[in-house]
């Protein structure tokens, strides 16, 4: 269908100069021949005029149909590719997303899909159109007059060659310019976002120099590109008009010599004007092919990826009886280009309903990684994690993630209402459920005070939340899923101790019947835990209750001293250290809360 409209459109395009030339020849013939019947010629002109009109309309309609169909097919293919890409992105594991740049994925998801899409509507159909036009035109002209035909077409190779080479140069230059512009964007964006730092260090002049440097580089490239483009387009026009001069000259002589008629000459000229555009597009086509090839390769590279973490073929939904989570000699290391870096080594523990496990350790000790293993954001590299005896790698991923709630350290705010953000994991939740979760997370009162209540927009373009508010929202969000296992991944660091205490009290009911893991560097968040693991460099160094660990006098004890005693000057101020607080802040808050 699309192909037939293309062919018809091309035929009508070729017909028009034929008709024009014919009309002129009729007129010339008449003037040439004294005996000709004026009315006959008039009738013929009238018919030609009508045919011309009809051909023009038909050309327009079929060109439109040809373009529209091409576009439509392209858009539908784009549709499929986009959905496939999006699904793939959502399924790829953490380890993939950690290593791939978001910008790169966006380029593929936007530009490469566009590239492949354009290939269908421009490249495929347009190439057919061009082939018919140029082929048919060449045939018609050469049949009429070989020499003149060749001269008329002499501009074609020039223009095509220039179009191809210049396009290649332009494409390269364009990419460089894009890169330079994105550096410029980054410089400007960083400067404006960090304007306080810039001012604080009186860095305006320095920043201005930096800006000028990258701006000048971008400008130089932009200038060069304009040069290439202009030299190129003007040359193509010139080549074309030069051919026109030659046709007039040679053709005129041929008319004088009686070899051809004046109308035929007109026909040649009209042909040339019609062929001018398609020939320019020819260069674009060639590039389109080249570009599509790269785009297509880059795109399918991603679509063919297989997520590392996925369901086994015979995976069943997870079955929860008791609700016991066990780490059995778990090892974990990131396998990547930096080599085999051991993050966790032989970690074993058991979390049963009503029990709280606290995990503490210095930054980089592997605490967060541990949290990410339970919902299988990563898979263990040694040992196993079981839930009620089932290895989590043997159950359906979705069912596993449904029972495991990880309250993330820094959760992502989607640009949407607070309500939608809280209900992110359970979009069909009732309003009461949402309010209960926010109340438990101590967020409800704050939301109530917002101008638009639960409909207030948050995220990139909405109300900006403080770190503590984000973390409370993150808690509420996880509570919505009613998980059987709750893991707080350093998710209260930005919440003040008193509020944290209130959250803990509100969650009592839930935590009493579930296994809870609290990861934190703030001891007041986890010293109430039934068992505390002190982790360093991926290994459990100490374990036991708060009292046991304090009595042990090891790493945990030192950390406790550091956090509760007022810093290292305590040594110098031993006298005042005596009256410094000896109990934790949260205990005090608990008392205060009780009052």
Partner 1 sequence: MATNADNVQQGLRGANRPPHAVVGSQVERDEEMFGKAFNGHVVKRFGGFLTPYRTLLIVAIFAVLGFTGTQLAIPIVIQSAFDNALELNNFDRDLLVQLSIVLAAVVALNYLFNFLQEIIVGRVAERVLFDLRRAMYAHLQRVSLSFMDRTEVGRLMSRLQGDVAALQEFLETSVFAIGDFVLITGITIVLIAYDWRLGLLTLTVVPALLLIRIIWLPRARRAFLGARESSSRMNGALAEGINGVRTVQGMSREEVNAALFEEKVDVNLKAQLKGTRYGQIMIPTIDTLTGIAMAIIIVVGGTFVLDRSLEIGVMVLFILNVQRFFDPIRALTMQYSIMQRAMASGQRIFEVLDVPVEVEDKADAIKLEKTDGSVEFRNVTFGYNRDQPVLQDVSFKVNPGETVALVGPTGSGKSTTMSLIHRFYDVWDGEVMVGGHNVKDCTQESLGHEIAMVLQEPYLFSGTILENIKYRREDATREEVVEAARAVGAHEFIMKLPDGYETELEQRGGNLSLGQRQLISFARAIVADAKILVLDEATANIDSYTEMLIQQALARLLQNRTGMVIAHRLATIRGADRIIVLQDGKIIEEGNHDQLMAEGGLYSRLYSMNYASFDDIPDELIQAAIEGDEDKVT
Site string for partner 1, 519-538 (x = CB under 8 A): --xx----------------
Q: Which of residues 501-520 bind partner 1 (CB under 8 A)?
A: none
Q: Give the closest residue to 152 by CA, choosing from 236, 234, 255, 275.
A: 275
Q: How far apart are CA 381 and CA 395, in angstroms?
A: 17
For partner 1, give the closer residue by CB, 200 or 574.
200
CB 292 within 8 A of CB 116: yes
Q: How far apart are CA 595 and CA 593, in angstroms?
A: 5
By three-state DSSP, how is residue 421 classified? Answer: helix
Q: How far apart are CA 471 and CA 455, in angstroms?
A: 19
Residue from the set 11, 89, 320, 324 that interacts with partner 1 by CB under 8 A: 89
For partner 1, give the closer residue by CB, 7 or 498.
498
Q: Tell me if 203 contacts partner 1 by CB under 8 A.
A: yes
CB 130 within 8 A of CB 282: yes
Residue from the set 34, 192, 571, 578 that interacts with partner 1 by CB under 8 A: 192
For partner 1, give the closer residue by CB, 237 or 545.
237
Q: Please state the closest distance from residue 237 (CB atom) to partner 1, in A.
A: 6
Q: How far apart are CA 186 and CA 184, in angstroms?
A: 5
What are the angstrom distances between the C-alpha of 111 and each of 50, 122, 182, 185, 283?
A: 46, 16, 15, 19, 20
Residue from the set 1, 34, 256, 574 that interacts with partner 1 by CB under 8 A: 256
Q: Which of residues 268-307 bind partner 1 (CB under 8 A)?
A: 269-270, 273
Residue from the set 139, 172, 206, 289 that interacts with partner 1 by CB under 8 A: 206
Q: What tokens appear for 169 in the block?
A: 């140069």
CB 228 within 8 A of CB 165: no
Number of amino acids touching partner 1 (CB under 8 A): 170
- Could you give phi then psi for residue 342, rounded to 5 degrees? -70, 120
Q: What tokens appear for 102 in the block?
A: 């978001």
Q: What tokens appear for 165 in the block?
A: 């080479």
For partner 1, give the closer residue by CB, 242 or 297.
242
Region near partner 1 per CB under 8 A, out of 81-89, 122-130, 153-161, 505-513: 81-89
Q: Which residue has the tokens 């030299």?
A: 231
By three-state DSSP, how is residue 494 classified? Answer: coil
For partner 1, give the closer residue by CB, 153 or 286.
153
Region near partner 1 per CB under 8 A, out of 148-156, 165-173, 289-297, 401-409: 401-409
For partner 1, give the closer residue by CB, 262 or 279.
262
Q: Is the C-alpha dihedral spanning 443, 448, 454, 460 positive or negative?
A: negative
For partner 1, give the closer residue by CB, 286 or 295.
295
Q: Tell me if 265 contacts partner 1 by CB under 8 A.
A: yes
Residue from the set 423, 458, 475, 540 that interacts with partner 1 by CB under 8 A: 423
Q: Give the closest residue to 65 by CA, choosing from 125, 15, 135.
A: 125
Q: Please state the closest distance from residue 45 (CB atom) to partner 1, in A.
A: 4
Q: Which of residues 458-477 bind partner 1 (CB under 8 A)?
A: 459-461, 467, 477
The single-letter DSSP state of residue 463 is: B
Q: Which of residues 49-68 bind partner 1 (CB under 8 A)?
A: 49-50, 52-57, 59-61, 63-64, 67-68
Q: Is the C-alpha dihedral spanning 458, 423, 432, 481 positive or negative?
A: negative
For partner 1, give the closer residue by CB, 113 or 540.
113
Q: Please state the closest distance from residue 339 (CB atom) to partner 1, in A.
A: 11
Q: How far apart are CA 355 and CA 352, in angstroms?
A: 5
Q: Which of residues 224-243 bind partner 1 (CB under 8 A)?
A: 226-227, 229-231, 233-235, 237-238, 241-242
CB 359 within 8 A of CB 330: no
Region near partner 1 per CB under 8 A, out of 327-335, 424-432, 435-443, 503-511: 424-432
Q: Which of residues 313-372 bind partner 1 (CB under 8 A)?
A: 338, 362-364
Q: Which of residues 17-46 bind partner 1 (CB under 8 A)?
A: 20, 23-24, 26-28, 30-32, 38, 41-42, 45-46
Region near partner 1 per CB under 8 A, out of 100-108, 133-141, 343-351, 526-534: 100-108
Q: Which of residues 149-188 bind partner 1 (CB under 8 A)?
A: 185-186, 188
For partner 1, give the closer residue by CB, 382 or 459.
459
CB 525 within 8 A of CB 492: yes
Q: Tell me if 449 contacts partner 1 by CB under 8 A.
A: no
Q: Which of residues 539-578 bind partner 1 (CB under 8 A)?
A: 559, 562-564, 566-570, 573, 576
Q: How far apart are CA 59 and CA 57, in angstroms?
A: 5
Q: How many CB atoms lie within 10 A of CB 127?
A: 17
CB 123 within 8 A of CB 292: yes
Q: Tell me if 102 contacts partner 1 by CB under 8 A.
A: yes
For partner 1, give the closer residue by CB, 76 or 316.
76
The single-letter DSSP state of residue 485 is: E
CB 390 within 8 A of CB 401: no
């Amino acid at each position: 269908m699309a192909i037939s409209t293309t062919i018809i459109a091309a035929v009508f395009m070729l017909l028009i100069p034929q008709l024009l030339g014919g009309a002129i020849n009729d007129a010339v013939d008449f003037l040439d021949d004294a005996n000709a019947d004026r009315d006959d010629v008039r009738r013929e002109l009238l018919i030609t005029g009508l045919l011309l009109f009809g051909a023009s309309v038909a050309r327009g309609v079929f060109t439109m149909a040809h373009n529209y169909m091409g576009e439509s097919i392209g858009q539908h293919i784009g549709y499929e590719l986009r959905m496939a890409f999006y699904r793939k992105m959502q399924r790829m594991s953490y380890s993939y997303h950690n290593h791939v740049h978001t910008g790169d994925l966006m380029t593929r998801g936007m530009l490469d899909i566009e590239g492949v899409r354009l290939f269908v509507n421009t490249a495929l159909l347009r190439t057919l159109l061009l082939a018919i036009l140029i082929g048919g035109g060449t045939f018609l002209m050469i049949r009429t007059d070989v020499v003149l035909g060749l001269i008329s077409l002499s501009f074609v190779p020039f223009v095509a060659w220039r179009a191809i080479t210049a396009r290649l140069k332009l494409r390269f230059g364009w990419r460089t310019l894009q890169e330079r512009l994105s550096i410029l964007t980054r410089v400007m964006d960083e400067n404006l976002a960090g304007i306080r730092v810039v001012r604080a260090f009186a860095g305006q002049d320095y920043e201005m120099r930096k800006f000028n440097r990258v701006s000048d580089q971008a400008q130089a490239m932009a200038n060069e590109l304009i040069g290439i483009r202009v030299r190129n387009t003007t040359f193509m026009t010139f080549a074309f008009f030069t051919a026109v001069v030659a046709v007039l000259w040679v053709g005129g002589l041929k008319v004088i010599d009686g070899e051809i008629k004046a109308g035929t000459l007109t026909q040649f000229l009209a042909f040339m004007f019609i062929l001018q555009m398609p020939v320019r597009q020819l260069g674009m086509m060639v590039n389109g092919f080249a570009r599509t090839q790269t785009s297509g390769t880059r795109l399918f590279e991603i679509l063919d990826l297989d997520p590392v973490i996925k369901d086994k073929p015979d995976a069943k939904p997870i079955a929860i009886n008791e609700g016991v989570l066990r780490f059995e000699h778990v090892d974990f290391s990131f396998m990547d280009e930096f080599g085999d870096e051991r993050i966790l080594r032989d970690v074993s523990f058991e979390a049963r309903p009503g029990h709280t496990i606290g995990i503490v350790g210095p930054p980089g000790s592997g605490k967060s990684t541990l949290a990410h293993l339970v919902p299988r954001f990563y898979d263990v590299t040694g040992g196993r994690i079981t839930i009620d005896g089932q290895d989590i790698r043997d159950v359906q991923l979705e069912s596993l993630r449904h029972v495991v709630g990880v309250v993330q350290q820094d959760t992502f705010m989607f640009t949407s209402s607070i309500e939608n953000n809280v209900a992110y994991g359970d979009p069909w939740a009732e309003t009461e459920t949402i309010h209960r979760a926010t109340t438990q997370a101590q967020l409800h009162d704050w939301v109530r005070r917002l101008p638009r209540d639960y409909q207030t927009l948050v995220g990139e373009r909405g109300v900006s939340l403080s770190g503590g508010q984000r973390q409370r929202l993150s808690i509420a969000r996880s509570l919505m899923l009613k998980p059987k296992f709750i893991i707080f991944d350093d998710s209260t660091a930005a919440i003040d101790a008193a509020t944290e205490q209130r959250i803990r009290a509100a969650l009592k009911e839930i935590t009493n019947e579930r296994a809870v893991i609290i990861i934190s560097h703030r001891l007041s968040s986890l010293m109430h835990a039934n068992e505390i693991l002190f982790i360093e460099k991926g290994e459990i160094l100490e374990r036991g209750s708060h009292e046991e660990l304090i009595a042990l006098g090891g790493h945990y004890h030192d950390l406790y001293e550091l956090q509760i005693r007022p810093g290292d000057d305590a040594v110098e101020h031993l006298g005042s250290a005596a009256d410094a607080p000896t109990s934790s802040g949260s205990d005090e808050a608990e008392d205060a809360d009780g009052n």
